[in-house]
Structure 1
């Protein structure tokens, strides 16, 4: 048994169209391949772990003796969003996808928001988070109207200038809107507060006071099983928001990918038994949705460069799992996530015969493996790969 498992989710780092990609309009998507085709970067550390053995990737070799077990995983849930991916990693199967609103939210919901908050709503369209504050920010500063927008994800986002609507008030508004979107009529995965500052168009910038108001998982996850058995569950980054705090014992927020790595390293210095669960969101939020393939490649390079620091913090009885939650091919049409396989890389300081393991039919194999390792009772449709790596 490993005393600690460190699980890192590289948000949106898919590794090729899933077998059902055509059903999602994503045939031909391949986040890693197309990103690396757009800009050549050196992934010496990920290469050594066998990333280039999972799938042929530009510029990556498959070493004769990799330093990790590797495979790819399929998603079974009916969705390709962050919550669905993470909840499946934690052991669930989401059979009813969260609602998306490609034409904006229904008038009935907008009317309820205006009545409950005593503020008018503007925009109500799918929008880039940086463009929406440029287009609506100046009028918002004059009127105090709420800038409500969505994306290809099942989210309702509310942007407000911190000098017009203080952050605490914006959080209260989002809590109210969360209550309005809990039933099946308007069900969205997350309500997100998006504070910004600045003096005018072209000068507005979003702050780090973002806060997500997610649904709680519909059923217990492996995080609950660990917590109920007195194991520690550290949430690093937006993990706490994704699970609405359920099954979490300790959490730390992060500003960006590199701050996320810094915070993870701090957690790895602590003495605990259980799981650390980290999400590195910039791949998705900053580069994937904005279709910035070169920026995406640079971000992957930044993470690769930090891997030796992560390895140095591993203890002899630690296990490191690196995976993703969906794809977001920055060269694909639109700005939506893409239905893809995700990589699975599993390593430790132990001298195993590292090699390819069986490809996984569900992300929930990760949850089954965690439960198996810590010998906790948890029912999931996934299958543990602990035996394959021992």
Structure 2
């Protein structure tokens, strides 16, 4: 048994169209493939490479990414079974709770009834109310919002209601209070919105508006027990880094820390290596998704992956013999694809421990829940049989 298990979620790093991609109009999506294609020989991810990221799809090689004969880790990919392709769907499924009831999507904007409730509660004008890029919406409407104190409400192709506000006119405390109210009235049908997201920003005009790291996600509470709950109930530590705490509404978590960036998330994850805990550390690195995937920026995405790879090297060097690391993703968000939304893709699965003496393919896992089942099996905790453990394959 490994004393400590770490999972790092590279938010949105899909690895090629999933088996059901056409159902989501995502045939041809390939987040990592298109990033590698964009960068060519300048794409340097040596630590991910030696763990086996190129081996996952040796039959469809990533451009200029090596496929070592003997990678250090085990490698494979996972198919999502949840009905959606949002971060909440992906993370809940990893922890044994696939999302089977469709969430509410509002591609034409939210109903007048809901907007009126938000306006009455906040006593503020509501503007925009349609799908929009988060950076573009504050560029286009930020000056009006700053002048009037209105609330910028917008959505995307995911089940989200986002509220942007300049901290100069709407303090964080007020923005959070409004988002908490929005959460309280959108749990059930006919709305059933996956996440309410507070999007504070600062600046004086459209030339310098900038979103801050004080984003806060108000996700639906898990609709049942997750593997995090099972670990916590069994007496194990469950450490959350980044938006993990938000995604699970704090449930099943013994300690959570907010992060400001991918780099900060890895700093906290590396700090967890120095802690004497017994259990699970779960990290989400959201910049890949929020800053580069949605903005269709393959250059920035590649730079962020290379920066992560450097910190990954630091992490690997500090691992103990009884540590186990998983690297995966929660969905795709292909910067070389049409639109600005998440893409239905397989996600990578890498497993490594300094104590492993072999490497092999873990194949195609039929659900993200196999990851959680493996973690539970390591700690001798009973699961719900949704996923199948691959612990015995790690030798």
**Same fold by TM-score greater than 0.5:** yes
Counterpart Cα distance in 2 of 1:275 and 1:104:
39
SS of 1:148's equivalent in the other structure is strand
- The question of whether the paired residues in 2 share the 8 Å contact of 1:159 and 1:195 is answered with yes
User: Deviations along 1:137-171, whole A, 9 cap, x unmatched?
Assistant: 11112221111111122111111111101111111
Distance 1:226 1:73, change over 3 A: same
**Contact preservation (8 Å) 2:202, 2:210:** yes
Contact conserved, 2:213 with 2:261, CA < 8 A, in 1?
A: no
Residues 217-296 of structure 1 aligned to structure 2 (within 5 Å): 217-296=222-301
1:266-297 superposed Cα distances (whole Å, 9 cap, x missing partner): 11111000000000111111000000011111
* Counterpart position of 1:43: 45
How far residue 329 of structure 1 moved from its aligned partner, in angstroms, is: 0.8
Q: Which residue of 1 aligns with 2:24?
A: 24
* Residue 213 in structure 1 maps to residue 214 in structure 2: no
Other structure's SS at 2:34 match: helix
The answer to whether the 8 Å contact 1:236/1:254 transfers is yes
Whole-angstrom CA distance in 2 between matches of 1:333 and 1:375: 44
Partner of 1:160: helix, strand, or coil?
Answer: strand
Cα shift at 1:212: 1.1
Deviating runs (4+, > 4 A) in structure 1? none
1:203 aligns with 2:208: yes
Report if aligned partners of 2:54, 2:67 keep a CA contact under 8 Å in 1: yes
| Counterpart residue number, 2:74 | 69
- Counterpart position of 1:3: 3
C-alpha distance 17-213 of structure 1, shift in aligned 2 (>3 A): same
Which residue of 1 is the match for residue 164 of structure 2?
159
Do the aligned residues in 2 keep the contact of 1:42 with 1:59 (CA within 8 Å)?
no
1:99 aligns with 2:101: no
The answer (yes or no) to whether the contact 1:89–1:366 under 8 Å persists in 2 is yes
Residue equivalent to 2:392 = 387
1:185 Cα deviation (Å)? 0.9
Instruction: Measure, in 2, the Cα distance between the counterparts of 1:256 and 1:308.
Output: 18
In the alignment, structure 1 segments of 5+ residues that lack a partner are none
Shift of 1:94: 1.1
Question: Hey, what's the Cα distance between the residues in 2 that align with 1:351 and 1:68?
Answer: 8
* 8 Å contact from structure 1 (residues 364, 380) kept in 2: no
Q: CA RMSD in A?
A: 1.0
Q: Deviation of residue 321 (structure 1)?
A: 0.3
Tell me by how many angstroms 1:97 deviates: 2.4
Q: Deviations over 1:90-146 (max 9, x none)?
A: 111211222221111111110111112211201101111111112111111222111
Q: Distance in 1 between matches of 2:255 and 2:36?
A: 36
Give TM-score scaled by structure 2 length: 0.97
Matches within 5 A, 1:106-125: 106-125=111-130
